[in-house]
Amino acid sequence: MSETPVAVRMEIVVFGAGSLGSLVGGVLAREHDVTLVGRDPHVTAVREAGLRVEGAFDLTTTPAATSDGTGLSGDVALVTVKAFDTPEAADALATGSFDAVCSLQNGMGNEETLAARVDCEVLAGVATCGAILHDPGVVECTGRGELVVGAANGGASATADRLAASFDDVGFDADAVGDMPRRLWTKLAVNAGINAVTALARVDNGAVRSGDANELARTAARETARVARARDVPVSNREAVARLEAVADGTASNVSSMRQDVEAGRRTEVDAINGYVVDAAREARNELDVDAPTNRVLTQLLRAWETGAGIGTD
């Protein structure tokens, strides 16, 4: 764990002004120069009346907002788009100039996609903040959670230190860390257990703390931890399950992002979460006896739902 420096004013682009991006960008705009990249009518509402943040934060800020993410510049670009939109976001960011880009996304593989396209440092982050975009220009924080950032491949990063200080300065519980690969796989275990189960069962996060949902979520998390170890990332089964249950307790009344997608008839991020676990297990199986049958079934069920709903995946 690094010693977080005193925050200095930063120029920050938030690429993906959905729920999390709007929350993070809106709060950062209290003290920093923030540009949100999103879609209308949200972008127009922010331009005309500012961004209202309700819930655990209570404030209105006036970040810049645009629907054109090309040719931008700043100290850091925070990427908060859905995992399947990462290639498009990376191509747009590559037309600009940044000291670093930082993924605050769900799922795995986003950092590799960014690194292949942008010519700057790539950071990774884990955010457990709860956010719901209720109306254009209005986002609710359902829980401040915590934010950790660091070099995507691990180790120290001066830019991550500055970014963590900026988050902390505006009221988030934030830190810069040197073990992001372990943090990302632990988050993946949590998401694999909570998101798919709550989306399929249409229940709040707290439902995975008991009954059949609990056993299903715990099994998905344990499988993810085993695959992480097969990839030489030290995540124990006990740690994965403990983190899953802590997040479920802390966000018991929250609606997971995947459940929000299903209920809105949108494509989910299952390929970057449970599907990623399945694919990584398949790759590791050549050398190690590792499998992820629960994650495979959860993935198949959600893909079947997407197909039945006529949701494209290209």
Q: Has residue 142 got a pLDDT over 90? A: no
pLDDT digit string, tens, across residues 91-120: 999 999 999 999 999 999 999 999 999 999
CA–CA distances in Å: residue 243 to residues 171, 218, 236: 23, 10, 11
Amino acid identity of residue 14, one-letter, is V
Does the active-site annotation cover 82?
no
Q: Has residue 287 got a pLDDT over 80? A: no
Q: State pTM to two decimals.
A: 0.91
Q: Has residue 4 got a pLDDT over 50? A: no
Residue whose C-alpha is closest to residue 268's, from 306, 308, 242, 231: 306
Q: Degrees (nearest 5) of the Cα angle 183, 212, 182?
A: 10
Confidence label for 1 from pLDDT (cuts 50, 70 and 90): very low
Q: Which domains does the chain have, with CATH numbers?
A: 11-178 (3.40.50.720), 181-308 (1.10.1040.10)
Mean pLDDT calculated for residue range 240-247: 96
Query: What is the per-residue pLDDT for 128?
Result: 87
Query: What is the per-residue pLDDT for 312?
Result: 67
pLDDT digit string, tens, across residues 182-221: 999 999 999 999 999 999 999 999 999 999 999 999 999 9
Mean pLDDT calculated for residue range 156-168: 96
Q: Has residue 314 got a pLDDT over 80? A: no
Dist. CA 274–CA 258, nearest whole Å: 12
CA–CA distances in Å: residue 19 to residues 80, 119, 121, 141, 286: 9, 27, 25, 9, 40
Instruction: Find the catalytic residue in 187, 218, 222, 226.
Output: 187
Mean pLDDT calculated for residue range 128-145: 91
Residue 210: how many other CB atoms lie within 10 Å: 10
The helix, strand and coil proportions of the chain, stated in percent and rounded to the nearest 5, come to 45, 20, 35
> Which strands, in side-by-side order, build the sheet including 51-55?
59-61, 51-55, 138-143, 130-135
